[in-house]
Amino acid sequence: MGMFKSKAEKELDRKMKIKKTISGMNKFVSQIEAKKSKLIEQASLAKLKGIDSQYNLAVQGLKIALAQQKRVETMLLNFEITSQLKDISAMTQGFFESMSIFSKELSTDTKGKDLYKVQQQFERAMLKSSMQTEKLETFLDSTESLFENLSVDSNSVTDSEIEKLIETQASNMTDDLDVQIEEKLKSLDSKQTL
């Protein structure tokens, strides 16, 4: 590519960056899900074994993972909405540009003064739309740096949320253990009757 990019190339670059960012955020959410499941399993196992230090460590890790997940999901939603607003703004600008061209063609065809006023109104509307697009682009640029400065607040996850996740996992582990014990007893009973 040359030193200067065309408007279409810049738009393609913008869309590629947006797609890459969204993909990266979705990948991060998937990774957090896996870590969260492992931490829940570890906390449940520690609780069943009565190892308080391991349980507390797993709970702290789970709080951090949940806070990060909430933060990234919020950022992802904000990013997608902002991107859609940018697309809508560009579409609106395109509409006004087309209407301005249409107005110019009508005014040259009819030479009417009323159509000239319509043209001026469309041009003003197009200018306002263009200004809004520039403001939106500035906003998008500034939010990128804001997202980088976000810190994880593990206090945004309540202890009751953590406890509920762990209790569910511990209950499932206990149920699985009960099933295994029952199968062993049946196996022993069948061997004794032979």
In DSSP notation, 81-116 reads HHHHHHHHHHHHHHHHHHHHHHHHHHHHHH--HHHH
Model-level pTM? 0.51
pLDDT digits (tens, 9 = 90+) for 8-42: 888 888 888 888 988 888 899 899 989 988 998 89
Q: What is the distance between the alpha carbons of residues 96 and 4, in angstroms, rounded to a whole number? A: 27
Mean pLDDT of 107-119: 63
pLDDT per position as a tens digit, 43-97: 888 888 888 899 889 888 888 888 888 888 888 888 888 778 777 777 777 777 7
